[in-house]
């Protein structure tokens, strides 16, 4: 490689590197495809690339001469239209073979916009197949909004292969030509079925964009009303075309009840829109289903109910042409949930979690728990279970917790509710004292409080049932553990621990303190009838004597032995009082000296009350439970009623409705569970009595179950039943009745039902009641019923021929008619979406009709039932007609003339393959069949009853007519001159090669024979045939003169000249020049004739001659050369002067 080449390569490499550095910058945004340079579609390619529509292939090329596929072309059209990609899978038409294809979204967008119809391609789009030219044309015409062609257009496309087009295709081609989207090939064809190259597609796309601008400009101008005209030769696209309405919108596939949904339709050529809605096939009023307003611009709506809905928009243009677009949506319920917790609780507290939910359905409630921000296992933290409706739990350990209930619905949306609770420990308080002591003894006092964090601890003391100051009766430090009671008495020492929730934890130790060092005896001052008390006695003076014990009650002596159990001696004893009361016990004795001693002490004996009652073994949360309390020795004490739910005593009002007194009462347990009712009595001494005689009651919940049925459905409806309430607690039994009779579910519904509901369909019409029932183990049933009216699906089909000849009557026969009842069938006929007429009558039983138009028609039978649901069935029929055969034409000219025109006998005849009558339509013919001279072409075609035409056939004929020949003038007498007064006969003779009669037109001849004046006479004549065709003029010049010189030209000198200046537009054919001789003259004379040559513009000498006396020249000339003559005569003898007349005659030729 030489250095120069290396230099060029280096420069090229540098340029490439520089270009790569600027990639993505403003200097590199213009795409240049190397294989488009100098290509015939280069301009279109560059324009599409500049607009960002055309990207090219990964190899950097655009491949303009390769075939373009349907998918590639669909993507290009979608980009030029700037269509948004659908954001859901509910597209009105989905082809089976586009899923996952690179052009899937573009194809679906074109379907929504009405550019691609299912009828255009069927169930499969075949996106990788080459697209044909007619398929491209159809899509582009729809893209500019001209898919609805004028009915008045004859669609004469002018393409040589127009016969390859169907009637529908011809309309698209006609509009494409009108808007210059297509112009055809150089050979005059459009080649509709040829596959298209990429270059052809690019050109059409650019032309389409220009057409859009043209249409936009036209539509911006005010409309001009034009009078109706019978001219139907328009090529389409004119002002008489009203495009079909285009209207589409997108609904999400799923939404929630109450969600705001914004509808922003894509709309063109729409005057008004009517919105309707169906649920499970049943038409409903919009305001009963939707919140919001919908119009032609869409709107914002929300659904008021759940289920499957179909929203339909019927758009109408200014001509009443309508289009329907519908979208389906499933509306899900909005699940709500919530519960409450107390702010605080303890590890022995049963916490009621009452979860409230709406529209839970079969969805599961997931419970989670966090402690101090960390998620923990429910089983490790709680006693009890949490279900879909909550439950009762006891937290095992102290701490701060967050309890959360979460529900994930069918769409994966999660709703949750959380509550925070702080759990405190249950403090354990323990107090220990000896049961008996004396006032001189120090006793050990033990108190222990566990889990007492942040608690306050206090002490309280009662003596003989009355609260006293500790310091007044106790010596020593309670916290040190060693104390002494200063005085005798019955003491209760209580330790009180209070936590942050103000819950009090206590324990009490009882001690009886006896006096020391005194004579007499001591009994506790208060005790109960169930207490055995020790009486301590010390009688130092008694000796061997015996103490006499006596007793008074309420001031009255009573028998001691009847009152107590046990016995008293000199040392005291242990006794138990049988009855309550205030007593005074007296001890008396006499010592050895006879001195009487007595000691007495008062005390009070309290009764032991009893409380008896009972609970049922089972109840429900709505059961009123009567509690009848049987009490003894209650006196003025009150019963405190407690409830135990197996987790210990709980807050009564949390679990029980109602009030209980000493006599009992009526209560109702609020929640399911196992309960024990406890009666607690505290007397004046502070003694607590607990009575647990009622037994345990298992309380079952009062359940509920519900579901909704639509009031109306059809045998083809799928009904989504969702139960609610306590549908997860017990099995659900479903039953069905029709009328008043119970029927088998399996015989009347499709589908299955379980505790959560299910999807079912009714097999037969009728009035049904569906019932869901749950039964607990106490045989109590809970049920819910809904009534539904099921209507039949009307089936009405019919048979008709697939093809029929124009105007031929055919039969429409019903078939597969089911559940029609008294409903009427409404028949309609359409062609290309427009209403069409038929002749005849159709009823519920069908009928006979005929169609007097050709093409493919759709006959529809529609039935609307009593609930307003429409049912329809449609079938296509093709009405055919074979155009007449091409006529046979003859044209025979005649010589019959009128007004200069010739009669031509024109005849044609045509036959029709279908046997239809035909009429002939002529083009180029005259009303009276008379034609002027020349060639004429006339056309004729045949039209049958259906309006179909044969091909034109042409006939050319020629009318010939030759003008008469130039007349030959004959004059009698002949010669150059005529003697004055002599009658001169002048005639003409002409021939007509066509044999037409000839007439002559004369100038300066009044009659065939007449006397002409002296001098020069010029007579002209032309021949005219019967059509008015004229020959050229013919003319003669002659003189009337006498020998005396009158009438001619007399020689007056040696030189005599006569100039014949000719006649306009004529040349001289022959002449005669005569100078008569004079008697006696003999000279050296000569004469000549010169002619003016029109070709050379020169005078030519035609004749010359010498003579002794007079001269005559006679010559025939070439016509078209000489227009003037000069006659000259010379004589040198005056003997001829004033004696000889010079005469000549001339015959003229006219072109």
Write out pLDDT tens, residues 736-770.
Answer: 999 889 999 999 999 999 998 999 999 999 999 99
Report pLDDT digits (tens) over 893-924. Answer: 998 888 888 999 999 999 999 888 999 999 98
| pLDDT at position 597 over 80 | yes
The confidence band for 1143, taking pLDDT boundaries of 50, 70 and 90, is: confident
| pLDDT at position 485 over 90 | yes
Over 343-365, what HEC string results? CEEECCCCEEEECEEECCCCCCE
pLDDT of residue 32: 76
pLDDT of residue 6: 34
CATH level 3 topology of 888-959: Immunoglobulin-like (2.60.40)
Where are the domain boundaries for CATH 2.60.40.1080 in the chain? 246-332
pLDDT of residue 227: 40
- Strands (E) across 227-364 are located at 246-248, 254-256, 261-263, 266-268, 272-279, 282-284, 290-292, 299-303, 307-316, 322-332, 336-338, 344-346, 351-354, 356-358
Instruction: Report helix, strand or coil for 587.
Output: strand
pLDDT of residue 1045: 57
| pLDDT at position 37 over 50 | yes
Where are the domain boundaries for CATH 2.60.40.10 in the chain? 336-424, 795-880
Structure tokens given for 252:
């999400």
| pLDDT at position 1131 over 80 | yes
Residues whose CB is less than 8 angstroms from the CB of residue 1143 and which lie 6 or more positions away in sequence, other chains included: 976, 977, 1038, 1039, 1041, 1048, 1049, 1074, 1076
| pLDDT at position 252 over 50 | yes
CATH level 3 topology of 246-332: Immunoglobulin-like (2.60.40)
pLDDT of residue 1040: 85
Tell me how far apart the alpha carbons of residues 903 and 936 are, in angstroms, rounded to a whole number: 13
Tell whether omega for the bond before 1126 is within 30 degrees of 0, i.e. cis: no
Cα–Cα separations (whole angstroms), residue 790 to 319, 748, 988: 39, 11, 111
The confidence band for 226, taking pLDDT boundaries of 50, 70 and 90, is: very low
CATH level 3 topology of 795-880: Immunoglobulin-like (2.60.40)
Residues whose CB is less than 8 angstroms from the CB of residue 614 and which lie 6 or more positions away in sequence, other chains included: 627, 628, 693, 694, 695
Q: Which element (helix H / strand E) includes 176? A: helix 167-178
The CATH architecture to which 336-424 belongs is Sandwich (2.60)
Structure tokens given for 128:
């990788």
pLDDT of residue 1047: 57
The confidence band for 593, taking pLDDT boundaries of 50, 70 and 90, is: confident
Report the chain's C-alpha Rg in angstroms.
66
pLDDT of residue 86: 76
What is the pTM assigned to this prediction? 0.57
- Which among 331, 335, 287 has a CA at the least distance from the CA of 309? 331
- Which among 654, 706, 696 has a CA at the least distance from the CA of 354? 654
The confidence band for 9, taking pLDDT boundaries of 50, 70 and 90, is: very low
CATH level 3 topology of 431-525: Immunoglobulin-like (2.60.40)
> Mean pLDDT throughout 826-843?
90
Q: In the CATH scheme, what is the code of domain 610-700?
A: 2.60.40.2470
The confidence band for 612, taking pLDDT boundaries of 50, 70 and 90, is: very high
Helix axes 133-143, 198-220, angle to 10 degrees: 20
| pLDDT at position 41 over 60 | yes
pLDDT of residue 51: 86
pLDDT of residue 541: 79
Residues whose CB is less than 8 angstroms from the CB of residue 777 and which lie 6 or more positions away in sequence, other chains included: 700
Q: Which residue has the tokens 């709703």?
A: 415
- The CATH number for 968-1150, chosen from 3.40.50, 1.10.3470, 2.60.40, 2.60.120, is 2.60.120
| pLDDT at position 941 over 90 | yes
First to last CA, the chain: 84
| pLDDT at position 403 over 50 | yes
> Mean pLDDT throughout 923-941?
91
Cα–Cα separations (whole angstroms), residue 674 to 23, 619, 658, 699, 926: 80, 10, 18, 6, 116
| pLDDT at position 694 over 80 | no
């Amino acid at each position: 490689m030489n250095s120069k080449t290396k230099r060029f390569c280096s420069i090229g490499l540098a340029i490439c590197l520089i270009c790569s550095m600027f990639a993505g910058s403003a200097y590199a945004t213009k795409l240049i495809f190397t294989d488009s340079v100098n290509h015939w579609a280069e301009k279109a390619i560059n324009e599409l690339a500049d607009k960002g529509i055309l990207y090219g292939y990964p190899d950097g090329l655009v491949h303009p001469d390769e075939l373009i596929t349907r998918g590639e072309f669909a993507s290009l059209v979608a980009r030029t239209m700037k269509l948004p990609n659908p954001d859901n899978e509910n597209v009105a038409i989905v082809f089976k073979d586009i899923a996952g294809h690179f052009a899937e979204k573009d194809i679906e967008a074109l379907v929504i916009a009405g550019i691609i119809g299912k009828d255009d391609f069927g169930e499969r789009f075949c996106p990788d197949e080459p697209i044909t030219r007619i398929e491209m044309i159809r899509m582009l015409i729809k893209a500019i909004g001209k898919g609805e062609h004028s009915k008045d257009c004859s669609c004469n496309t002018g393409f040589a292969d127009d016969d390859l087009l169907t009637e529908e295709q011809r309309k698209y081609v006609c509009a494409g030509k009108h808007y210059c989207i297509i112009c055809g090939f150089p050979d005059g064809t459009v080649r509709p079925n040829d596959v298209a190259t990429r270059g052809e597609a690019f050109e059409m796309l650019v032309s389409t964009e220009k057409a859009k601008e043209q249409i936009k400009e036209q539509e911006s101008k005010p409309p001009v009303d034009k009078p109706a005209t019978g001219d139907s030769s328009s090529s389409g696209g004119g002002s008489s075309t009203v495009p079909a309405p285009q209207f589409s919108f997108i609904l999400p596939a799923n939404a929630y009840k109450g969600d705001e949904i914004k509808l922003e339709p894509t709309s063109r050529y729409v005057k008004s829109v009517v919105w309707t809605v169906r649920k499970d096939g049943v038409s409903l009023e919009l305001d009963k289903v939707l919140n919001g307003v919908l119009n032609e611009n869409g709107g914002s709506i929300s659904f008021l109910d759940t289920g499957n809905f179909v929203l339909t928009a019927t758009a109408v243009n200014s001509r009443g042409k309508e289009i329907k677009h519908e979208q389906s949506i499933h509306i899900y319920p909005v699940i709500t949930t919530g519960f409450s917790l107390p702010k605080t609780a303890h590890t022995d507290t049963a916490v009621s979690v009452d979860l409230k939910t709406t529209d839970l359905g079969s969805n599961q409630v997931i419970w989670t728990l966090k402690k101090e921000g960390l998620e923990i296992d429910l089983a490790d933290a709680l006693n009890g279970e949490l279900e879909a409706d909550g439950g009762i739990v006891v937290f095992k350990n102290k701490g701060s917790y967050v309890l959360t209930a979460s529900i994930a619905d069918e769409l994966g949306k999660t709703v949750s509710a959380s509550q925070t609770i702080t759990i405190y420990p249950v403090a354990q308080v323990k107090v220990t004292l000896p049961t008996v002591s004396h006032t001189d003894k120090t006793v050990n006092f033990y108190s222990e409080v566990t889990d007492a964090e942040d608690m306050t601890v206090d002490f309280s003391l009662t003596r003989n049932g009355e609260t006293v100051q500790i310091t007044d009766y106790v010596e020593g430090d309670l916290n040190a553990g060693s104390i002494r009671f200063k005085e005798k008495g019955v003491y209760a020492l209580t330790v009180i621990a209070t936590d942050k929730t103000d819950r009090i934890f206590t324990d009490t130790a009882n001690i009886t303190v006896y006096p020391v060092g005194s004579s007499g005896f001591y009994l506790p001052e208060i005790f109960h009838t169930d207490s055995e008390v020790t009486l301590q006695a010390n009688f130092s003076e008694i000796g061997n004597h015996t103490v006499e014990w006596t007793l008074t009650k309420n001031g009255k002596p009573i028998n001691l032995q009847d009152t107590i159990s046990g016995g008293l001696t000199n040392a005291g004893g242990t006794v138990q009082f049988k009855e309550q009361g205030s007593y005074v016990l007296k001890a008396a004795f006499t010592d050895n000296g006879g001195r009487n001693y007595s000691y007495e002490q008062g005390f009070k004996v309290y009764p032991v009350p009893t409380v008896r009652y009972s609970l049922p073994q089972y109840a429900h949360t709505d059961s009123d439970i009567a509690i009848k309390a049987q009490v003894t020795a209650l006196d003025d004490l009150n019963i405190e009623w407690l409830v135990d739910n197996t987790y210990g005593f709980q807050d009564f009002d949390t679990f029980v409705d109602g009030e209980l007194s000493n006599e009992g009462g009526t209560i109702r347990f609020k929640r399911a569970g196992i309960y024990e009712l406890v009666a607690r009595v505290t007397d004046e001494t502070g003694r607590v009595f607990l009575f647990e005689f009622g037994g345990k009651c298992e309380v079952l919940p009062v359940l509920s179950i519900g579901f909704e049925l639509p009031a109306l459905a059809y045998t083809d409806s799928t009904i989504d039943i969702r139960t609610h309430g306590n549908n997860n607690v017990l099995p659900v039994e479903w039953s069905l009745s029709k009328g008043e009779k119970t029927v088998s579910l399996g015989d009347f519904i499709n589908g299955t039902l379980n505790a959560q509901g299910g999807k079912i369909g009714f097999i037969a019409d009728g009035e049904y009641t569906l019932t869901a029932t749950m039964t607990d183990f106490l045989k109590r049933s809970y049920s819910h019923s809904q009534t539904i009216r099921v209507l039949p699906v009307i089936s009405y089909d019919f048979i008709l021929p697939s093809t029929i000849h124009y105007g031929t009557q055919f039969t429409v026969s019903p078939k597969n008619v089911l559940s029609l009842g008294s409903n009427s069938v409404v028949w309609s006929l359409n062609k290309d979406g427009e209403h069409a007429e038929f002749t005849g009558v159709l009823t519920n039983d069908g009928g006979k009709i005929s169609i007097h138009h050709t093409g493919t028609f759709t006959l529809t039978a529609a039935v609307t039932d009593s609930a307003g649901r429409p049912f329809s069935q449609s079938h296509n029929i093709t009405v055919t007609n074979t155009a007449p055969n091409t006529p046979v034409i003859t044209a025979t000219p005649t010589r019959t003339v009128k007004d200069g025109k010739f009669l031509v006998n024109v005849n044609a005849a045509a036959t029709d393959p279908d046997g239809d009558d035909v009429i002939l339509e002529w083009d180029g013919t005259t009303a009276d069949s008379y034609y002027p001279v020349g060639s004429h072409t006339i056309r004729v075609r045949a039209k049958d009853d259906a309006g179909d035409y044969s091909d034109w056939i042409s006939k050319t004929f020629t009318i010939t007519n030759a003008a008469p020949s130039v007349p030959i003038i004959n004059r009698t007498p002949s010669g150059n001159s005529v003697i004055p007064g002599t009658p001169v006969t002048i005639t003409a003779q002409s021939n007509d090669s066509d044999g037409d009669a000839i007439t002559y037109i004369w100038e300066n001849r009044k009659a065939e024979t007449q006397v002409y004046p002296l001098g020069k006479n010029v007579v002209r004549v032309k021949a005219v045939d019967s059509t008015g065709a004229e020959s050229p003029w013919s003319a003669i010049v002659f003189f009337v003169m006498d020998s005396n010189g009158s009438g001619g030209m007399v020689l007056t000198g040696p030189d005599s000249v006569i100039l014949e200046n000719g006649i306009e537009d004529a040349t001289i054919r022959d002449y005669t020049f005569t100078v008569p001789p004079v008697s006696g003259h003999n000279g050296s004379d000569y004469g000549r004739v010169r002619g003016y040559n029109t070709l050379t513009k020169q005078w030519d000498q035609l004749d010359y001659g010498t003579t002794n006396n007079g001269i005559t020249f006679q010559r025939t000339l070439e016509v078209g050369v000489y227009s003037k003559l000069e006659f000259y005569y010379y004589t040198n003898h005056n003997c001829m002067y004033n004696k000889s007349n010079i005469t000549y005659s001339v015959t003229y030729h006219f072109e």
